[in-house]
Structures are given as structure tokens and as C-alpha cells.
Amino acid sequence: MIDATTRKPLSVSTDGTAGPYLIVQFLQLDDIRRLLDENGVRYWVGEDVFSFDGGPEEAMINFGRGADVDAIQAVLDGVR
């Protein structure tokens, strides 16, 4: 799946200690949630929407420490 603003592929991040996560454009959140739900991926969306330097609003999708990052990435990569 491609980021609507950067036109680059979405990538699950694994930095930090809270577990893997994905930062997405808020305007794409519903589509990404639908994709994750259809593929049985467990996640939760952070409560806050944020914007950096006046850029587009973004949301954080968290997958938890035990998440299969490769499987999640494969789901995202399967959308063209």
C-alpha cells in the first residue's frame, strides 16, 4: 500500500520498545483498518491524530510486541 502523500510504500516500524507500529495519513486510516481487519491482523489505533510542521494529519496504528511484522508487511505490500 502506498502513502497518499509521499507516494512511497507504507512500512511497519520496529524501532522503539512498545512494539511494531505504522504511521499513516489520517485520510487513509479507514482503508488501512479495513485491510488489516480483512486479513485478521490485530491492532489498535492511537487516540490522537497529529501533524508535523503543518503537514497532513497522521495516526498511529500499534500492533503489539508479539506481532508478526513480516506478515503485516506482506499484507500492506499486497495492495498496489
The verdict on pTM exceeding 0.85 is yes
Q: What is the pLDDT of residues 57-79, one digit of tens each?
A: 999 999 998 999 999 999 999 98
Q: Which residues on neighbouring strands pair with residue 25, listed in sequence order? A: 58
Q: Which helix (H) or strand (E) holds 62?
A: strand 58-62
The confidence score (pLDDT) of residue 5 equals 86
pLDDT tens for each residue of 37-62: 999 999 999 999 999 898 899 999 99
What are residue 24's DSSP bridge partners? 59
When comparing pLDDT for 5 and 23, which is higher? 23
15-41 pLDDT, tens digit per residue, is 877 789 999 999 999 999 999 999 999
Instruction: Give the integer Cα–Cα distance in Å for 54 and 13.
Output: 23
